[in-house]
């Protein structure tokens, strides 16, 4: 199956070969790294809307994603983590949902520079707790998620990645929204915290990897994944990948943090070097992860290090 995608800024057409969940049957892929910290390094002030930069400072977002592409990323995640109407409303730009999300897809596509690559449309948490535990109704959340998913798919995203989820209720709504929008591949990614005694991983809302894997498969996602979370480094990603593989047939994607954070001046700082990050990567690949990226604190240098190890693994198969 082939699809032609209009490249931003010119009239060339790029042929995208196969679906994302089909390609990973043939080889392991590399995803990009952190976006939020890179935006701040590019000048985004704390509390500002980074997603709005897709329309106000697209060149800065493009530069970040070009570095990841040049480092060897096969997949680029759009700068739309907080791109739902509910989240954008807090910044006074809820009316720009479609424009912000469609622009993000164009920027990511352009970052590949005409090379083949997958653009993953990012849907993050809506930022409120659903009823009956919180004030956000499922109907309101559903509408916001459907709106964002539709904008990403219609903008040309090759897949939808639903990131940093802690509740199966919201994850289920987001998967349904991606399916309704016609997403070609859907990635269900949860954020796990390492327990105080360092013996297990669980989300903030009490979801264990076993249940998440079964749920994602039952709901019709094409991948089950992990990203972020307190204590979620590459070694932890290997553990959770093994659990996922034991409880579902879906391919696995992982985006661990750049090690464990340390507090400096009241802020969490990630200091793990690219070389140190990939020490446990062979364990992740051996456990069965098919796409490997990175999350908090990572850079294009981390992506490059991941690329080298994944290439060695692919060549040795």
Q: What is the number of alpha carbons within 13 Å of residue 284 lying toward its C-beta?
A: 30
Q: Which residues contact 303 (CB under 8 A, 6 or more apart)?
A: 30, 32, 33, 68, 71, 72, 73, 293, 294
Residue 11 pLDDT: 29
Do 65 and 76 meet the contact criterion of CB atoms below 8 Å apart? yes
**The two structure tokens encoding residue 101:** 């999300």
Cα 117-278-159 angle, rounded to 5 deg:
25
Cα 142-237-23 angle, rounded to 5 deg:
70
Per-residue pLDDT of the chain (317 residues; tens, 9 = 90+): 223 333 333 323 333 468 999 999 999 999 999 999 999 999 999 899 999 999 999 999 999 999 999 999 999 999 999 999 999 999 999 999 999 999 999 999 999 999 999 999 999 999 888 888 889 999 999 999 999 999 999 999 999 999 999 999 999 999 999 999 999 999 999 999 999 999 999 999 999 999 999 999 999 999 999 999 999 999 999 999 999 999 999 999 999 999 888 888 877 788 899 999 999 999 999 999 999 999 999 999 999 999 999 999 999 86
- For the stretch 229-246, pLDDT in tens is 999 999 999 999 999 999
**The two structure tokens encoding residue 221:** 């996602």
Do 208 and 168 meet the contact criterion of CB atoms below 8 Å apart? no
Rounded CA gap, 73 and 221, in Å? 22
Nearest to 185 by CA among 160, 163, 168, 202: 160
Residue 317 pLDDT: 64
Rounded CA gap, 317 and 312, in Å? 9
Rounded CA gap, 240 and 314, in Å? 21
Domain spans, the chain: 19-315
- Among 1.10.10.10, 3.40.50.300, 2.60.40.3080, 3.20.20.330, name the CATH number for the domain at 19-315: 3.20.20.330
User: Phi, psi at residue 92, to the nearest 5°?
Assistant: 75, 20
Crossing angle of helices 58-70 and 97-111, rounded to 10°: 40
- For the stretch 292-309, pLDDT in tens is 999 999 999 999 999 999
Indicate the SS3 state at residue 296: coil
Residue 17 pLDDT: 60
User: Phi, psi at residue 303, to the nearest 5°?
Assistant: -60, -40
**The two structure tokens encoding residue 27:** 């080889």
């Amino acid at each position: 199956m082939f699809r032609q995608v209009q490249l931003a800024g010119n009239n060339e057409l790029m042929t995208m070969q196969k679906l994302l969940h089909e390609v990973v049957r043939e080889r392991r892929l590399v995803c990009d790294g952190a976006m939020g910290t890179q935006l701040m390094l590019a000048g985004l002030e704390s509390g500002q809307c980074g997603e709005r930069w897709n329309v106000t400072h697209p060149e800065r977002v493009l530069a970040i994603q070009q570095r990841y592409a040049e480092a060897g990323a096969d997949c680029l995640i759009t700068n739309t983590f907080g791109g739902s109407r509910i989240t954008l409303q807090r910044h006074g730009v809820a009316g720009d949902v479609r424009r912000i999300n469609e622009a993000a897809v164009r920027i990511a596509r352009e970052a590949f520079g005409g090379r083949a690559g997958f653009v993953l449309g990012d849907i993050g948490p809506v930022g409120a707790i659903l009823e009956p535990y919180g004030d956000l109704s499922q109907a309101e959340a559903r509408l916001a998620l459907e709106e964002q998913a539709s904008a990403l798919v219609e903008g040309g995203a090759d897949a939808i990645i639903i990131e940093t989820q802690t509740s199966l209720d919201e994850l289920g709504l987001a998967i349904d929204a991606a399916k309704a929008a016609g997403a070609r591949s859907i990635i269900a990614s949860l954020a796990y915290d390492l327990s105080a005694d360092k013996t297990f991983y669980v989300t903030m809302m009490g979801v264990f990897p076993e249940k998440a894997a079964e749920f994602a498969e039952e709901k019709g996602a094409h991948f089950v994944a992990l990203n972020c979370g307190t204590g979620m480094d590459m070694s932890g990603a290997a553990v959770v990948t093994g659990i996922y593989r034991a409880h579902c047939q879906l391919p696995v994607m992982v985006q661990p943090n750049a090690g464990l954070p340390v507090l400096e001046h009241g802020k969490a700082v990630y200091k793990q070097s690219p070389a140190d990050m990939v020490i446990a990567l062979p364990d992740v690949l051996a456990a069965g992860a098919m796409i490997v990226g990175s999350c908090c604190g990572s850079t294009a240098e981390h992506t490059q290090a991941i690329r080298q190890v994944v290439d060695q693994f692919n060549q040795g198969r």
